[in-house]
A and B are shown apart, each in its own frame.
Chain A
Amino acid sequence: MATAGAPSRQPSHQSHPFQPQPWRDRRLEIVLGNLLRAGVLFSAAIVLAGACVYLCRHAHERANYRVFVGEPSDFRTIPGVVHSVINGRGRGLIQLGLLFLIATPIARVAFSVVGFAIERDRMYVVFTVIVLAILLYSLLGSGLTF
């Protein structure tokens, strides 16, 4: 990423309290914006590919959403989704795209930790790590990985 080499040479930063630097915030914002855009477009492409497969195969079926039926395990865990993608299933691809969509903001938060660390803004590194911990807890604690 572009900010990895962002200048943080000013020695004054270590001895003085943090001074907000608008242009650095702008750079971080731009990198994070691009990351989000790329992640969303990438997942949309996967969902679109899955949609083509799914619609080609099920074009003549009548949709029935009157009764709520939970999804089979193929579409509710990460290994299940990966397995169904390998088997060339359209709905598996759609779920994979949705997983990438969920992962995109989490990646953004992870990158923000790095960004705030480069800015030497300890307070916001702590805030961002808290957010990241909550997100990971909800993902890993929900049984998605099994």
Chain B
Amino acid sequence: MREGFSNIRIGMFLEIATTLGALLGAFLATRIPTSALAIIFGAVLLYSAYLSRKPRPSAQRNLPPDPLATRLRMNGTFPDVDGPRCYNVQNVPSGFSLMFGAGALSGLLGIGSGAVKVLAMDQAMRIPFKVSTTTSNFMIGVTAAASAGVYLSRGYVDPGLAMPVMLGVLAGSLLGTRILVKAETKSLRLVFSLVILVLGLQMLYNGLWGKI
């Protein structure tokens, strides 16, 4: 986690939506056929991969402040190559509802659904990409904690499996934060969309051929 990028206010406000969603998701997890969900989720991911490759409107940089976002004190600055840069958050309600969906997916499928969070912040709320990714990182833990207790108490957490997964993820994320500061937003975006493309295809495959 690098300081200066993530926005704790945006994160905390949206966590209301994600934790509620995660609770709902964990509750639904036993009732909905997972294969159906995997198909829907795969489709969502493929669509998001497409969206994140689409060139965005050029007036991106200097958006007028949104009254609701201003009241919620969400607008901020982050360190850019040429000094601190201001940003104005847009479309708070649609971001909030997308976050509820992200939380429900994470509770249902046991994923952090960071990709959906980044999309909600990046595409709907028009938050700069590096702020979106780091803030979503900040939020994933809280969202996951909302459903992790439910999984553990149901006996879904196998220590023999969780151990290598946890240690591997930690090592990878420590490496990733080192790269983040130097990386170009353009190449980050490319890597991100490739990852969700592969994830989406994998989800579709698992859902259609009943691997889940």
Q: Which residues does A use to contact B, with CB under 8 Å? A: 18, 20, 22, 25-26, 28-30, 32-33, 36-37, 40, 43-44, 47-48, 50-51, 54, 58, 63, 65, 70-73, 75-77, 90-92, 94-95, 97-99, 101-106, 108-109, 112, 121, 123-124, 127-128, 130-131, 134-135, 137-139, 142-144
Contact = CB atoms under 8 A, between A and B. Distances in A.
B73 interface: yes
Contacts of A143: 153
B165 to A, nearest CB: 10
Contact of B16 (A63, A71, A76, A134): A134
B59 interface: no
A40 B170 contact: yes
B179 interface: no
Contact of A131 (B19, B144, B150): B19
B149 A25 contact: no
24 contacts: A22-B76, A25-B76, A37-B1, A44-B166, A58-B160, A70-B155, A71-B156, A71-B157, A71-B159, A72-B155, A75-B157, A90-B159, A91-B159, A91-B160, A98-B152, A105-B145, A109-B15, A130-B16, A131-B142, A134-B19, A138-B23, A138-B147, A138-B150, A142-B149
A108 B15 contact: no
Contact of A134 (B12, B20, B160, B161): B20
A54 to B, nearest CB: 7
B52 interface: no
Contact of B9 (A47, A99, A124): A124
Given A71-B159, A102-B148, 19 more contacts: A18-B73, A26-B4, A51-B167, A58-B160, A70-B156, A71-B157, A76-B154, A95-B152, A98-B159, A103-B145, A105-B145, A123-B73, A131-B15, A134-B146, A138-B26, A138-B150, A139-B145, A142-B152, A144-B153
A5 to B, nearest CB: 20
Looking at chain A's contact residues, the main secondary structure is helix
B50 interface: no
B163 interface: yes
Contacts of A75: 155, 157, 159
Given A20-B73, A47-B167, A138 B149 contact: yes
Contacts, number: 151
A71 B152 CA distance: 9
Interface of B: 1, 3-4, 6, 8-9, 12-13, 15-16, 19-20, 22-23, 26, 72-73, 76-77, 138, 141-142, 144-150, 152-164, 166-167, 170
Nearest to A101: B166
A105 B144 contact: yes
Given A54-B160, A138-B26, A144 B8 contact: no
Nearest to B151: A142
Given A33-B3, A142-B150, A63 B20 contact: no
